Amino acid sequence: MCSIIGYSGKDDAAPLLVKGLKRMEYRGYDSVGVATESNSKIELKKGVGRVGEVNAKFHLENLPGKIGIGHTRWATHGKVTDVNAHPHPSNSGQIAIVHNGIIENFEKLKNDLKKEGYNFLSETDSEVIANLLQKNYQKSKNVKNTMINTVSELKGHFSFIAMFDNGQLAAARFHEPLIIGVGEKNYVLSSDVLGFIEQTDEAIYIDNGNFVLIDQDKIQIFDFDGKEIKPLITKVSKEFADVYKGDYAHFTLKEISEQSETIFKAGEGTKEAIVETADYLKHAKNIYLTGSGTSYNASLVGKYLLSKYAKIKSESIISSELQFSPDSIEPNSILIAISQSGESADVLEAVNIAKKADCKIISILNSLTSTLARESDIVIGMNCGPEIGVAATKSFTSQLIIWYKIIQELSNEKMEINFQEISGAVSKTLQEHNNIKKIANEIKEISDIYVLGRGIHYPIAIESALKIKELTYIHAEGIAGGELKHGPLALMDSKVFVIIINPEDSTYQDTLTSAREIKARGAKIIGISDKYSDVYDFWIKLPSTNELTYPIAETIPIQLLSYYASLEKDTDPDYPRNLAKSVTVK
């Protein structure tokens, strides 16, 4: 996944593009580039590295002109090299493009263009867009017709921005996000609101299958057949302004620390959607829960809660797996899709499959303007504010809170859930940070960590292992306590650390027994519990609370441990290698 940005207005384009790209780096950050137009000439600079590095090396922000495009890349087709970085110029140099997505028929297009004499410099699929535009432009000499002809030839998922050396910008959206920030005689085309939020809070969300032409201060939107569409300007949430690290060293730390507050915001203002969801769940024949990564892990918690507290059976399905068993979705069922971004391609594909089976789509979402929001019948908002750190933290606990609210509603509000107490427990576990920092130092050289939990703590163990992997690059695995003796015990020795999630509830004694079995094999034990035991080599204290507060409280120390261990290992917690915040390609 990548971020694209384009600027046309009265200010110098390059510094604004660089700023916007920095904000959107979470979408992909292996290489970066900017191109601008000035005096009918396109100038372009790009290279491998983060925005700050490439800018320091090539002075991207000094490129001249009031019109420009930029890109941060997360490699899919072609290695991470300077040449593969975007923007890509067309052969004539009269057009340059930036692209997010995948052009599925690029090989055929490339071969056809080669036969007509076009050369290709990069290994990317994206470069065909530049040359296809050039070919079509040379024929029609008209940007609108060029766009209509070009998009009709592209297969796959794309949003791209093309800059012509006559100073025009053109951009198209097909299953990848594209938003326009509308300033005073300035337009910013962007993958995300974060690309322009410092300049304006007025935006036009481009619909799927539409393209845009910007010429000086004139903007026109068309569908792919060329029919003009009236632009609809909306105000973006002022929450997006909250995209600064403030006093925090990293977004990840900021986002972990915000959780005592975000607890109160989850589901806020969407009471009706929660009531409606509960009603559907009561009467549904089949209920499927889906998501990717952390959001899938939240679905496992949801499945547990629905079964235990509402006696409702559901099935959790990893979104990317659904395409291989589409028939497992019974017609007229309910699909609850969980996603922070609402843009994960796998989740959208799962939704697509469920829609074909006439399922009701309910989504648990942070980004309420996302594609998933528009594809859903009911939307429940996490409202936890922008999550920039690639590893999901506060969105996970918000997803859990929404599940709590759903089961509370299913109990006709009889079930008491003390959100104040949950928030208090989060604050208390956050105070463990000095202790956790020391433990982070102990695990930095370790190559295997296991996280063990039972019952509702098992999905938390899986999520914890994911956090450790993402942030520290240490191999980690979540284990259901009872499964220890069915395999993982063979791996226990003095080189291994095991995190035991062991609050004093119905799982406590069995999990303590597991801890002793592990300790007897020489592994080191980190106990996360409200009750001290001498079996723990390291103890992270939890506040004593109840079954619904524990999962959230015990999530925090492992997020912090992963964060501090990443610092010990000198890796960047906000932007882990090879990952992207929302993966919009399959």
Amino acid identity of residue 486, one-letter, is H
CB of 108 to ligand G6P, least distance (A): 30
Pair type for strands 88-89 and 95-103 = antiparallel
The answer to the question of residue 429 lying near ligand G6P (CB under 6 A) is no
Nearest to 201 by CA among 153, 234, 232, 172: 234
CB of 368 to ligand G6P, least distance (A): 13
Q: The tokens 């406590």 sit on which residue? A: 508
331: cis peptide before it, omega within 30°? no
Nearest to 289 by CA among 327, 329, 331, 262: 329
**Is residue 334 within 8 Å of residue 355, measured between CB atoms?**
no
340 or 423: CB nearest ligand G6P: 340
CB of 360 to ligand G6P, least distance (A): 19
Rule CB under 6 A: choose which of 38, 159, 257, 295 binds ligand G6P: 295
Rule CB under 6 A: choose which of 65, 293, 302, 459 binds ligand G6P: 293
- How far is residue 317's CA from residue 54's CA, in Å, rounded to a whole number? 40
Active site residue 2: yes
The answer to the question of residue 340 lying near ligand G6P (CB under 6 A) is yes
Active site residue 581: yes
| # of chain residues touching ligand G6P (CB under 6 A) | 16
100 or 294: CB nearest ligand G6P: 294
Rule CB under 6 A: choose which of 391, 471, 479, 535 binds ligand G6P: 391
Rule CB under 6 A: choose which of 84, 150, 582, 584 binds ligand G6P: 582
Rule CB under 6 A: choose which of 159, 186, 190, 344 binds ligand G6P: 344
**Is residue 4 within 8 Å of residue 161, measured between CB atoms?**
yes
Rule CB under 6 A: choose which of 128, 284, 306, 392 binds ligand G6P: 392
- How far is residue 248's CA from residue 525's CA, in Å, rounded to a whole number? 30
454 or 581: CB nearest ligand G6P: 581
Task: Give the binding range for ligand G6P (CB under 6 A) out of 77-85, 209-217, 390-398, 505-513.
Answer: 390-398
178 or 392: CB nearest ligand G6P: 392
The answer to the question of residue 339 lying near ligand G6P (CB under 6 A) is yes
- How far is residue 451's CA from residue 471's CA, in Å, rounded to a whole number? 15
What is the CB-side half-sphere exposure of residue 352 using CA atoms within 13 A? 11
The answer to the question of residue 210 lying near ligand G6P (CB under 6 A) is no
The answer to the question of residue 341 lying near ligand G6P (CB under 6 A) is yes
Query: Distances in Å between the alpha carbon of 447 and those of 272, 540, 557?
Result: 47, 21, 20
Residues between 273 and 292 that touch ligand G6P (CB under 6 A) = 292
Strand ranges of the sheet holding 234-235, from the earlier edge strand across to the other edge? 41-48, 31-38, 67-73, 3-8, 187-190, 179-182, 202-205, 234-235
CB of 460 to ligand G6P, least distance (A): 15
**Is residue 565 within 8 Å of residue 470, measured between CB atoms?**
no
Binding site for ligand G6P (CB under 6 A): 292-295, 339-341, 344, 347, 390-392, 579, 581-583
Looking at the annotation, which residues are catalytic? Answer: 2, 581
